[in-house]
Amino acid sequence: MGITFEMIDDILIAILSGELDHHTSLEIREEIDHTFDTFQANNLILSFEKVTFMDSAGIGVVMGRYNKVRTKNGKLALTGCNHYIDRILDMAGIYTIAKCYPSINEAISALREEKGE
Amino acid sequence: MEYINQIKLEMRSKSENEAFARSVAAAFTSQLDPTVEELTDIKTAISEAVSNAIIHGYQDRDDGIIKIEMAATATSKIIIVVEDKGVGIEDIEKAREPLFTTGNSEERSGMGFTVMESFMDKVIVESKPGEGTRVTLIKVLDQTNGF
């Protein structure tokens, strides 16, 4: 599992790639939290576009990051959830805490709009 | 029931082996001409079962042994058994409930069994506290895909 980061204003964008399971989730959640703190981000976008496999460990990653951004009164947005990832996230009711957008740009716009209100 | 193929596999309860179990399940299932969706369903279900064995059965210890058996029938039925000799489950019915998780861990979704049940046709859980857990995953593939 790989992860790359981008930062736009106070939004940290974590682009995940590869297989997200119990094993890989242990590493990436620490890496995301560490980067989130280091760059003093308030909002987080998790991109699943390059994720080739995900089981229920992915639900834990999203729930945990939601709790993380809430400590900063920030928002969490998801992008690039394919059919398989969507089934698992939907099953756990994840969309009640974070929406999934087709692209990173749309997620950024949505986070900015919500802040503007 | 007559099987057209069977395999047995033993591995240590290391979390790296979750990906290995998925690969083996995918390779074994491939002989039945599954759809991409069916293959993903099976990979996801075995990933949940093996993760459960490691996290709950062996409490994240990596020196336990996980036994996996796979069988395929001529009627395109795939049967996967994942067995551990870990702590076992006190209340199986409760463990199978969506969002239920044992309190000793952070960031557990409690959705493992729910995912297995929705992606497979049948999930059988046998367990005794102190003795271990045996999960049987069964799926009948749509035969119209093969030729």
The number of folded domains in chain A is 1
Using an 8 Å Cβ cutoff, are A22 and B50 in contact? no
Q: Give me the CATH number covering residue A93.
A: 3.30.750.24
Domain that holds residue A63: 2-116
Predicted interface score ipTM higher than 0.85: yes
Which residues of chain A are at the B interface, by a Cβ-Cβ cutoff of 8 Å?
A: 19, 21-23, 25-26, 29, 53, 55-57, 59-61, 63-64, 84, 87-88, 91-92
**pLDDT tens digits for B73-113?**
999 999 999 999 999 999 999 999 888 887 555 678 889 99
**pLDDT tens digits for A21-70?**
999 999 999 999 999 999 999 999 999 999 999 999 999 999 999 999 99
Side by side, the strands of the sheet bearing A100-101 are A2-8, A11-20, A43-54, A76-79, A100-101
Q: Please confirm, yes or no, whether B52 is among the known catalytic residues.
A: yes
**Tokens at B141, concatenated:** 């593939």
CA distance A51 to chain B (A): 13
Q: What does pTM read for this prediction?
A: 0.94
For each of the domains in chain B, give its residue range(s) and CATH number, in order of start. 3-145 (3.30.565.10)
Q: Where are the beta strands (DSSP E) in A2-87?
A: 2-8, 11-20, 43-54, 76-79
| pLDDT, mean over chain A | 95
From the list B54, B67, B49, the residue with the least C-alpha distance to B119 is B49
Q: Please confirm, yes or no, whether B83 is among the known catalytic residues.
A: no
**pLDDT tens digits for B107-143?**
788 899 999 999 999 999 999 999 999 999 999 999 7
Kindly give, in sequence order, each residue whose CB lies less than 8 Å from that of residue B41, ignoring residues fewer than 6 positions away: B119, B120, B139
Helix, strand and coil content of chain A, in percent to the nearest 5, comes to: 50, 30, 20
Residue of B108, B117, B126, B145 marked active site:
B108
**pLDDT tens digits for B32-45?**
999 999 999 999 99
Residue pointed to by tokens 């861990």: B105
% chain B with pLDDT above 70: 95
Q: What is the pLDDT of residue A36?
A: 98
Is A22 close to B18, i.e. CB distance below 8 A?
yes
Give the pLDDT mean for B16-25: 98
B102–A contact, CB cutoff 8 A: no
B109–A contact, CB cutoff 8 A: yes
